[in-house]
Structure 1
Amino acid sequence: MCQHQPPCPTADSADREAARLAAHHPEQGWSLLCNGVVLFEDTGELLPDGQVIAPHRPVRIVSAA
């Protein structure tokens, strides 16, 4: 699917989010990556095989002083 050199990470790679944007729709809250992954603004993902990856936002840690 990817024509870039070097090729983008595949959809089943751990670094799949590093693929280049194929389409970007911030007004709708999603982007399509060149590897077929749909990346949502809440950090959730939809893989080309239909698998859903739950949002994985970083957790903010607040220390009690």
Structure 2
Amino acid sequence: MCQHTPTCPTAAQPDREAAKPLTRSEVQGWTLLCNGVLLFDDTGELLPDGQIIAPHRPVAATGAAA
């Protein structure tokens, strides 16, 4: 699917989110990457094979260190 040089990571690779965006919907909160991954603003993903990747944004630290 990707025609970039060098090619973007495939949807099966761990760095799949590094692929270049093709289109974006600000209102619905998603970006379609050139490897077919649908990346959501909450960091969840829908892969081309239908696999769902749960949101994985970092957890913010709360409270002060003692």
TM-score by length of 2: 0.92
Separation of aligned partners in 1, 2:2 and 2:65: 47
SS at match of 1:17: helix
Structure 2: gaps of 5 or more residues: none
Query: How many residues of Structure 1 are paired with residues of Structure 2 in the alignment?
Result: 65
- Structure 2 partner of 1:22: 22
After TM superposition, the runs of 4+ consecutive aligned structure 1 residues lying more than 3 A away are: none
Superposition RMSD on alpha carbons, in Å?
0.9
Separation of aligned partners in 1, 2:40 and 2:60: 20
Structure 1 segment 1-65 matched on structure 2, within 5 A: 1-62=1-62, 63-65=64-66
Separation of aligned partners in 1, 2:14 and 2:27: 27
SS at match of 1:43: coil
SS at match of 2:17: helix
Structure 1: gaps of 5 or more residues: none
TM-score by length of 1: 0.94
Distance apart, 1:26 and its partner CA: 1.2
Between the aligned residues of both structures, percent identity stands at 68
